[in-house]
């Protein structure tokens, strides 16, 4: 029950706008980003829920790959300095994650993990293009990856405690992500 309360508190305290444009250079700014941005919060929790049924090694492999993909996206964006339209990209990510959760049996475990790696790379790339300097990349990235892993782990716990016991919950979460993605497209 405590885990669900923490998740609800985090969701109620999140917004789309509060996470974008915060990109200062500190670790704490990076750490706050996933917790204050509803797009990132939903994506990381959904990814955790998506792998909750995996065996322990599979869950940790997915967590590590997600963290590396996020970091690679951040670094790639700084190296290439190609600005991307952030809101549509994040909206597409949420819509895609919603589809993965809605069609669990239609996606094999390797395909699900590969899609998550792509989504986190794109998310990292979108935000990395906003960073003002290479110095910002180092401190901000550490915070973003740390908080993302925390949310991913919370998603696994929620998935194992609630979603796996109630099959309709995963489809409901997929629907919520799809709606959130559509809302982000309109934002």
- Residue 68's pLDDT is 96
Q: What is the pLDDT of residues 23-78, one digit of tens each?
A: 457 899 889 988 998 888 998 998 898 888 888 889 999 999 999 999 999 899 88
- Residue 16's pLDDT is 44
Residue range 16-25: mean pLDDT, rounded: 48
Contact 89, 185 (CB under 8 A): no
Q: What is the pLDDT of residues 99-134, one digit of tens each?
A: 888 876 777 888 888 988 998 898 888 888 778 777
- Does the pLDDT value for residue 13 go beyond 60? no
Long-range pairs, 167-171, Cβ under 8 A, ≥24: 170/49, 170/101, 170/104, 171/101, 171/102
Domain boundaries, the chain: 2-13+22-186
> What's this model's pTM, rounded to 2 decimal places?
0.81
Average pLDDT taken over every residue of the chain: 81
- Residue 143's pLDDT is 93
Binning pLDDT at 50, 70 and 90, where does residue 187 land? low
Query: Read out DSSP for the chain?
Result: -HHHHHHHHHHHT-BSTTTTT---SSHHHHHHHHHHBHHHHHHHHHHHHHTTTS-HHHHHHHHHHHHHHHHHHHHHHHHH-----HHHHHHHHHHHHHHHHHTGGGS-HHHHHHHHHHHHHHHHHHHHTT-S-HHHHHHHHHHHHHHHHHHHHHHHHHIIIIITT-HHHHHHHHHHHHHHHHHHHH-
Q: What percent of the chain has pLDDT over 70?
A: 85
- Residue 24's pLDDT is 54
- Residue 93's pLDDT is 84
Q: Which residue has the tokens 């910002």?
A: 136
55 Ramachandran zone, left/alpha/beta (phi>0; psi -120 to 50): beta
């Amino acid at each position: 029950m405590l885990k669900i309360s923490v998740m609800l508190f985090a969701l109620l305290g999140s917004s789309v706008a509060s996470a974008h444009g915060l990109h200062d250079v500190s670790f704490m700014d990076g750490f706050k980003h996933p917790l204050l941005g509803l797009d990132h919060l939903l994506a990381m929790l959904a990814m955790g829920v998506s792998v909750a049924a995996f065996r322990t090694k599979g869950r940790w492999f997915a967590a590590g790959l997600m963290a590396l993909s996020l970091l690679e996206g951040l670094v790639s964006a700084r190296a290439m300095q190609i600005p991307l339209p952030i809101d549509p990209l994040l909206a597409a990510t949420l819509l895609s994650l919603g589809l993965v959760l809605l069609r669990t049996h239609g996606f094999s475990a390797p395909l699900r993990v590969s899609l998550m790696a792509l989504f986190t790379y794109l998310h990292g790339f979108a935000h990395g293009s906003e960073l003002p300097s290479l110095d910002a990349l180092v401190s901000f990235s550490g915070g973003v990856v740390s908080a993302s892993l925390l949310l991913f782990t919370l998603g696994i716990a929620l998935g194992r405690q609630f979603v796996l016991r109630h099959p309709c919950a995963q489809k409901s979460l997929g629907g919520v992500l799809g709606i959130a993605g559509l809302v982000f497209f309109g934002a």
